[in-house]
Amino acid sequence: MVWCMRVCGWVLRKKEIGRVVIVEVVSSRSKPSVLVLKEEREPDLYAVSKTLDVGTALCFEGEIAAEQKSKRGIEYTVSKIEVYSKPVSPLPVEVSGKVPSLLDTRIKYRWLLLRNPVEKAIFNIRESVFHAAREYLRRNGFHEVQTPKIVAAGAEGGATLFKVEYFEYQAYLSQSPQLYKQILMNAYPRVYEITPYFRAEKFNTPRHLNESWGIDVEQGFINGVEDVLETLENLVSYIVNYVVDNNKEDLETLGVNLEKVNPPFKRLRFTEVVDLLKNEGIEVSEKEDLPDHAERKLGEIMKSKGHRLYFITGFPWNATGFYYMREEDGMYTRKFDLDFEGLEIASGGQREHRYDKLVEAIILKGLNPDDFQFYLESFKYGIPPHGGFGLGVERLLMKMLNLENVREAILFVRDRTRLLP
């Protein structure tokens, strides 16, 4: 039995060859539907097709053609066309992809350019990243939570906080769910949140956004930071491999050959990284985080050694948040980064769960413990050793799909200069 299908979408392209009209209709699928309408075969539908403009919203009914001649999409034999809406003016961008759009134009009109299969493929894969993350974390006993996005204090200090007027109080947009994830270690040993991050950083680089999305994870009763490293490398591997298995058509549309990855990922101590870079003529401080150019160079070094993904562990105390557990020497911590070919895609570590040590760390960072009383109180009643991480979704996509700019991986961009659309 042959089933008649109903497909709804928009006219992406239209071409007339003699008494034949070829219409490409883009829908939620990666590949467009191709309608071939001949005057001698279906005169009424042919007449309708002659009136269609690029951008027209319509639905059609038909069957997948027995003979597939089109190289651009799936060809249909059509029995009905219903036109719902025609553009009132020409489209402001070329959605077929015949003429590539500049990045600024793509950002401004992404909601329209999503009719292009290439643009849509990026966001089909983005959806799969979230789906895979939830699937992995649920299977491994993590409980999904939601934490406030209007907060009284930042997890990383005040320099990169967006201020918000909250009645008679000064409040901020959340940089991270870090503090709240830790509080929840009192009742849920494993939690995760898929969440926006708000960072008031005045960067305007291909790797920075002021509103981005992350997969934040925290786990308790750990034996050490290695437990957290294993969770992160298993999660990232699951996500990448899920996309390889389930987004073949999207990857093909993008021309991306994404390879599966498998843990364990290479571990490098921060001091090892400093030595590696010095051997390449790049001087970096042993007491500060790595600058972008050093990260990129390290990516080249590690890729030449066969490591696309690798951890940097044991960051210096000067370069970390107050909540990371310090080593006995006080100089280094149990903080780590996960880098993907020279780009930091995740950061995390083992947290300080000992009350007295935590108060001491807050003071050493120049912060006021009184501003963190809601947080500190949660460390008084039997909180277990714990750790976690935040995985940046846009940065992960950027590396998975070989995108040149992180802005390509988010639907509506919020950066140093963009507040619309």
Rounded mean pLDDT, 394-401: 98
pLDDT digits 0-9 by tens, 51-78: 999 999 999 999 988 888 888 889 999 9
Q: Is 105 inside a domain boundary?
A: no
Flag whether pLDDT at 159 surpasses 80.
no
- Between 288 and 95, the more confident residue is 95
Which one is catalytic: 106, 115, 199, 407? 199
Phi then psi dihedrals of residue 19, to 5 deg: -105, 35
Number of helices (H), then strands (E), in the chain: 12, 16
- Both 217 and 306 in a single domain? yes
CA distance 406 to 413: 10
199 part of the active site: yes
Q: How far apart are CA 156 and CA 20, in angstroms?
A: 63
Over residues 215-236, mean pLDDT: 98
Q: Is residue 106 domain-resident?
A: no
Beta carbons of 353 and 386 less than 8 angstroms apart = yes
201 and 310 fall within a common domain: yes
Average pLDDT (342-360) is 96
Beta-carbon-side half-sphere exposure of residue 257 (alpha carbons within 13 Å) = 0
In a domain, 167, yes or no: yes
Whether the per-residue pLDDT at 394 is higher than 90: the answer is: yes
Q: Is the pLDDT of residue 251 over 60?
A: yes
The chain-wide mean pLDDT, for the chain, equals 93
Residues 33 and 135 in one domain: no
Task: Say if 129 falls within a structural domain.
Answer: yes
Res. 373: pLDDT tops 60: yes
Active site residue 347: yes
Active-site annotation holds for 208: yes
Q: Compute the distance between CA of residue 54 and CA of residue 12 in angstroms, rounded to an integer.
A: 6
Q: Do 77 and 133 reside in the same domain of the chain?
A: no
Say whether both 84 and 124 belong to one domain: no
- Annotation marks residue 82 as catalytic: no
- Per-residue pLDDT reduced to its tens digit, 4-18: 789 999 999 999 999
Tell me: do 247 and 390 sit in the same domain. yes
The catalytic position among 341, 344, 352, 394 is: 344
Token code pair at residue 183: 């509080």
pLDDT at 48 over 90: yes
Q: Has residue 241 got a pLDDT over 60?
A: yes
| CA within 13 Å, CB half, 71 | 0
| Domain presence at residue 421 | no
CATH code: domain of residue 253:
3.30.930.10
- Active-site residue (options: 110, 207, 326, 407): 207
Q: Rounded mean pLDDT of 16-44? A: 91
Q: Give yes or no for a contact between 61 and 80, defined as CB atoms under 8 angstroms apart.
A: yes
Nearest-angstrom CA–CA distance, 392 and 409? 11
Per DSSP, the three-state class of 161 is coil
Q: What is the mean pLDDT of residues 272-298?
A: 90
For 81-110, the pLDDT digits (tens) are 999 999 999 999 999 888 888 999 999 999
Helix axis angle for 225-246 and 393-400, nearest 10°, is 50
Question: Which pLDDT band, with edges at 50, 70 and 90, does 329 fall under?
Answer: confident
User: Is 395 one of the annotated active-site residues of the chain?
Assistant: yes
* Amino acid making up residue 295: E
**pLDDT (0 to 100) of residue 158:** 59
Considering the domain architecture, whether residues 202 and 332 belong to the same structural domain is answered as yes
Q: Kindly give the residue spans of alpha helices, DSSP state H, lying in 26-116.
A: 43-50, 103-108, 110-113
Lowest mean pLDDT segment, chosen from 51-65, 122-136, 151-165, 375-389: 151-165
Judgement on whether residues 38 and 141 belong to the same structural domain of the protein:
no
Closest CA to 84 of 56, 53, 113: 56
391/142 Cα distance (integer angstroms): 15
398 within some domain: yes
The answer to whether residues 184 and 48 belong to one domain is no
Please indicate, yes or no, whether residues 379 and 289 belong to a single structural domain of this protein: yes
Closest to 181 measured CA to CA, from 316, 355, 380, 353: 353
Q: What would the two tokens of residue 368 be? A: 């006021």
- 83 DSSP β-pair partners: 58
Closest by CA to 327, choosing from 365, 291, 357, 372, is 357
| Distance from C-alpha of 182 to C-alpha of 191, rounded to nearest angstrom | 9
Roughly what angle, to the nearest 10 degrees, separates helices 292-304 and 270-279? 80
CA distance to 58, 67, 141, 403, per residue, from 49 (Å):
11, 21, 54, 37
- Report the pLDDT value the prediction gives residue 286, as an integer from 0 to 100: 82
Question: With b meaning 16 or more CB within 10 Å and e meaning fewer, what string describes 9-38?
Answer: bbbbbbeeeeeebbbbbbbebbbbbbbbbe
Cα three-residue angle 196-198-231, rounded to 5 degrees? 50
Instruction: Give me the CATH number covering residue 47.
Output: 2.40.50.140
Full domain range(s) for residue 363: 117-409
Residue 290 has pLDDT above 50, yes or no: yes
Say what percent of the chain tops pLDDT 90: 83
Catalytic residue among 115, 126, 326, 395: 395
**Residue with token string 């029995």:** 79
Residue 109, domain member (yes or no): no
Number of domains in the chain: 2
Residues 300 and 357 in one domain: yes
Shared domain check, 132 and 75: no
Please name the amino acid found at residue 198. F
For residue 96, being part of any structural domain is answered with no
Domain boundary among 20, 55, 90: 90
pLDDT higher than 50, residue 3: yes
Q: What are phi and psi of 38, to 5 degrees?
A: -110, 135
Region 370-379 average pLDDT: 91
Give the model confidence (pLDDT) of 402-419 as tens digits: 999 999 999 999 999 999
- Other Cβ atoms within 10 Å of 4 Cβ, number: 10
| Local confidence band at 1 (pLDDT 50, 70, 90 cut-offs) | very low
% helix, strand, coil for the chain, step of 5: 35, 30, 40
Q: pLDDT grade, residue 155 (50/70/90)?
A: low
75, 347, 352, 394: which is the annotated catalytic residue? 347
Handedness of CA 236, 240, 242, 243 (dihedral sign): positive
| Exposure on the CB side of residue 90, measured as CA atoms within 13 A | 3
Q: Please state the rounded mean pLDDT for residues 241-269.
A: 96
Read off the pLDDT of residues 104-138 as tens digits, 9 standing for 90 and up: 999 999 999 999 999 999 999 999 999 999 999 99
